[in-house]
Every structure is written in C-alpha cells, then in structure tokens.
A and B are shown apart, each in its own frame.
Chain A
Amino acid sequence: MAAIYKEFAIIPHFFIASSITFILCNVGIHFLHTKNEMELKHALCFAALVWIFSMLLAAIPFWLSGATGSYLDANFDAMSGFTTTGLTLVRGIDHLSHSINFYRHYLQFVGGMGIIVVSLVILARSEISSVLAFKGEARDLGIRPNIVRTSRVILGIALTFMVLGAAFFAVVGISEGANIGNSIFDGVNYSMAAYSTGGFAPHSQSILFYHSTLYEIVALIIFLIGSFNFTFHYAVLSGKRREIFKNIEIRTMFITLTLSTLIISGILLFSNVYPSGSILFRKAFFQAASAHTTTGFGTIYPSQIANTWPSAALFIMSIIMVLGACANSTGGGIKAIRVGIIAKSFFREIKKALSPKSAVVTEKFHHIEDTPLTETIARGALLIAFGYIFLFALGTTVTTLYGYNMTNSMYETASAVGNVGLSSGITSPAMPALLKVLYIFLMWAGRLEIIAVLVLIGFTILGIRKGIKK
C-alpha cells in the first residue's frame, strides 16, 4: 500500500516491523519447539500470548511513523485494532498516510476473524494443537469437519462481505461527491472496520465525514452482518433460511436491540435533545446498534454524547456494550447466546417454582440445532457473564479513581471490555499511562472471553511458585 501511494517514508517502518517479527518467530520456533502434544491449558496460554506478542510487534509501524505519541500509545492502538475495539490514541487521523490508515483497518479485519484462524489458513495445519489453539481464541465452530477448512470458510465469508461492503461504500461515496480514488480507499477501510465490528475510521469524524444517510445505512447493514455468528452465516448461505427466525442469538439480539433503542429513544424524548421524533430515533438506533454489535461507529461526537445525552441513556448504552454481539462472530461482549441461555435458565427456574413438585421442567434452545438447556451450559454462560461484570466493575472503579465522572467511566470501560470503541471522550493521548495499560488489558481479556487470560495468569503464578521451590 505504501508503494502504491508512493509513501516511501513509511516503507522502512514496515520493513523494520516485519524483520523483527521474522527474527523473533524463527528464534522462537528454534528454541521453543517441542514434540510434546499441546493440552487445552497450553492452548489457552498460547492464544493469550499470541495476542500480546502480536500487539507488541504490530505496534512498531504506528510508533515509528509518529502516528502515536509513544510506544505505549502504539500498543493501545494495535490491541484496539486486533480486538476490533476501535478506541484510538492516534494523532492527526486526517493527515495519516494511506498505508498506516489501511494498516489500522487491516489489523481489525484480521483480528475480527481471529489471528489464529488467519494463521491456520496460511499454515494449513490441521493437528490437535491447531484445534486447541482455535478454541483458545474463544472460537468454537464446527462448520466443517476439518479445522483448516473451517478457517477457510470463515475467511471466505469475511472476504465476500468485505468486498461487497467496499463496493457499496465506494459507489455511495462517489454519488455523494467524493472523488473516485478516495471513495474506493475509504470504502475498503470502512468495510473492513464495519464487517469486523471494529469501529476504526480513516477520518476523525468517523461515519459523519460523508454527511450521508446512505453511507450510514450501508455501514449499519455491514456491521449487523458482521455481528452474526459465522456458523449462522454458513447455515443461512447453505439454504437454512428458517435459522434467521429460530436461532437463539438472533432472537436475543433482536429483543435486546429493540428494547434498548426504545428505552434510549424514550429517555432522549423526555430530555428534548433532538428536534424531531424521526431524528431522535435515527440517532438512538444507530448508536444503540453500533454499541450492541460492538462496532463503535458513531454519528455523534464522543464529547457531545457525554455532554448532551442523559446519564440514563449512557447507562443503557453501557449495558448493551457489555452484552455484545453473537458468539463466534467478529464482535465482543458477553455474547447473545449466553444472554439468551441465562434468560432461559431464569424463566425455567420461575417455571419450576410455579410447577407441582412432581413436574419435570425442561428447557431447550435452538442454535443451528435444538440443544437441551443443561445446568452445565447455564453455569458456563453465567461464569463468563460474571467475568465480564467483574472486568467492567474493575475498569469503572479505576477510571473513576482517576477523577472521571461515574457515567463516563462506565461508558468508556464498557466500550473497552465489550470491544466496542464508542467513547465518552476519556480515551485520548493525554489520559494517564496506567489507564491506557488497564484499557489494553480490558480489551485483551474481553476479546479472549477472560478464561484464556485467567489460565495464563494461573499458569504464570504456578510457574513462579515452582521456580521459587526449586
């Protein structure tokens, strides 16, 4: 990309980053290679570490090109890119080179599918370790019997939607008065960010740059598609159209998105923020959909939303950001399937309480196929949900301790934990360094659904203990 746009000053930055990566990978393969079979705990640690090392290496071009003020800021943006969050500390987005801008969006596209998924397609290795690493990255798909084929299907689906999205964005851009070259470049970037529910944008005004309703609609369609489960995509594309109405995730997301949009619209209506009902609904729906699908595109400026929207609306937005999109999608958060399972378990308990003692109350849910709702499944969903709530509470507490107000802290933390990218204005190059580190951790833990991170922490503590004993 740097060569195409004749950005010769940027080329050395990418060469340096890729050379360092190449050296470290070769040294790693040589010294850390083992013939022992990988176990699940190793796979979880491996997945967690892959994301950390990827961040450290991907940050180099940001730092060298001066896009960020420090290496820490560069790491923040690299993690935000890989985790498809969209919070950014990049300075002067409107004057960024094409290559660095493309690179930001490309990171989101790769991160949306999963670093290990992309690696599996390239390396084409289908052994047990690959299957475990795949699961370690919070992916649990059975689209095809072979893990490499499954990865290829994911990549194929993603590329198809990305290309279609880019074409639509480009056509709309040209029709709205932008020049052809910029429309195509922006189209590709917006499409990558939208499909990966990333939220980065090639301009500081995000979607507002084009001042176009049509551009908003294209973005909305692409990020809604991106927020759906890859298995769901495959099922629908294979002809199982009824899945659209029966799938627990789609039903859950439809209910939560509708409810949240109505509540937010109601709050905004009473606070007289917008001049008409249609404008109010349009703003509320776009922000709610962007938050719920964990995309992070905004049609309202961050500090404007923090200053004009009532706290109650921001609170609802924080909740839907934590609830998140569908499992095995490019989105983050607790995930709709878990929310659906928790809700069904809740209603089952009520049914149990109301039924006679001799009655056996059972519940099932539909996700590609009917599955009985067992105690183990419900417990697993609750465990992950509690993990997210813990991270949300931790982030909010620390951000508040830095002097930011409670509502904005909740909003920003929910955005980081849920890998959303909407901001209340807290995320900026001037924010405290420790808060940047905390948000990097929150984005990372949120993307890997906490378990991999907890296993890595446990593994490290055990290793240190063993070392001390020896």
Chain B
Amino acid sequence: MSLKICVIVAILLILIVPLARAESGKALIENSASFDGKTVTFTGEVIGVFTRGDYAWVNILDNEVAIGVLCRAEDARKVTVIGDYRHVGDTVEAIGTFHMADPQQGGDLDIRADNFTVVAVGQELSRSPSLPLVTFSVVLMIVAIFVAFFLRHIRKEKERIVSWPFH
C-alpha cells in the first residue's frame, strides 16, 4: 500500500515540476497579478533566513530582486551560507505557489514552497584592500594635515603682523 502511495507521489512530482517554469524575480513582481496562485520555480541566492517554529522565511535574491519564500524549518536548516558582504549565499531552488498578496501573511508578496533544494553551496569572498588606494589615502591624509598646519601658520603670521601698528 505504502509503495503504491510513494509511486503515485513520485509520478505527481514528476508531472508538477516541469509545469513550474523557472521565473525571474523581476518577472514575478512585474507580472504579479498573472502569476497569482500559480506554481512557480524560483532560483536564487539566500540572503536571509528567519526560522519561526515549524516554518521559516528564506529571502532569495535573483538579480537585484529578492522575494520571501515560506518553507519548512527543516528545509531552511539545509542552508549553510547566507549572502552578505563577505559571502555569496547558497543557491537554492524553491518550487511553490506564488502569492501576489498572501492572505495568511498579511498580504505580502511571497512564494509558499512545497519543494526547497540547495542547488549550490555558497562561498566566502576575499575582500582585501587595494594597495594603491591605501597608499593614496595615506599620502592624502599627510597632505591634508600639512595644508591645515600651513594655512593656520599663514593666518597666525598675518594676525601677528596686523597687531603691530608700526608695521
């Protein structure tokens, strides 16, 4: 019996997944009304995870547009790297129902994921300072201090000269 159920679920998944075309974040937001209630595939970099009990919000960034994906907390726990200044976050694929204004989430635009997979693990980015820029900044600072002292010296000299009436 359980084998039969597994086969049916597997067939259904095979049928559903190809129906859900991978959409860009921009397309989803610009055409939110036409995607409302439809199953979509959304792929992108994880930039934020908020676990709340049994479920979690995962913010997925796709080319400057980030969308919140509501998934199971256990799925969200698969995410190991969250994108920020020092990291490229994990690339994930979420398949689920797109909501232009989710009635259960205060009317926010989101995707409620049925399927959530980590496609690629993120990595750390090296952000080393540029040596010419460091040198230039040090030189400029020295120049700035020198200019300040030099101009202050000239002003004081002027004031000293003016204060003597016979000059």
Contacts and interface: CB of A to CB of B under 8 A. Distances in A.
A26 B147 contact: yes
Nearest to A33: B155
Contact of A64 (B100, B133, B148): B133
Interface stretch (A15-23, A190-198, A344-352): A15-23
A205 B59 contact: yes
A13 B140 CA distance: 11
Given A11-B129, A178-B50, A308-B32, A279 B101 contact: yes
| Contact-residue size bin, chain A (C-beta under 8 Å from the other chain) | 35 or more
B66 A177 contact: no
A370 interface: no
B108 A12 contact: no
Contacts, number: 141
Contacts of B31: 307
B52 A23 contact: no
Contacts of A12: 129-130, 133-134, 136-137
A96 B85 contact: yes
Contacts of B65: 204, 301
Interface in A75-95: 91-92, 94-95
Contact of B33 (A15, A27, A209, A308): A308
| Contact-residue size bin, chain B (C-beta under 8 Å from the other chain) | 35 or more
A465 interface: no
Nearest to A300: B109
B29 interface: yes
A303 B106 contact: no
Contacts of B83: 94-95
A304 interface: yes
B64 A92 contact: yes
B167 interface: no
Interface stretch (A117-125, A156-164, A250-258, A270-278): A270-278
A158 to B, nearest CB: 28
A283 B29 CA distance: 16
B154 interface: yes
A444 B97 CA distance: 44
A19 B144 contact: yes
Given A9-B128, A19-B137, A204 B64 contact: yes
Interface string A16-40: 1011101100110110000000000
Contacts of B109: 208, 300-301, 304
A307 B64 contact: no
Contacts of A26: 144, 147-148, 151
A299 B108 contact: yes
B67 to A, nearest CB: 8
Interface of A: 7-9, 11-13, 15-16, 18-20, 22-23, 26-27, 29-30, 64, 91-92, 94-98, 176-178, 203-205, 208-211, 213, 273-276, 279-280, 282-283, 299-301, 303-304, 307-308
Interface of B: 26, 29-33, 47-52, 56-57, 59, 61, 64-66, 68, 83-85, 100-101, 103, 105-110, 127-130, 133-134, 136-138, 140-141, 143-144, 147-148, 151, 154-155
20 contacts: A12-B137, A16-B140, A23-B144, A30-B154, A94-B47, A94-B61, A95-B85, A176-B52, A177-B49, A177-B57, A203-B66, A205-B68, A211-B50, A211-B57, A273-B101, A275-B107, A299-B108, A301-B32, A307-B31, A308-B32
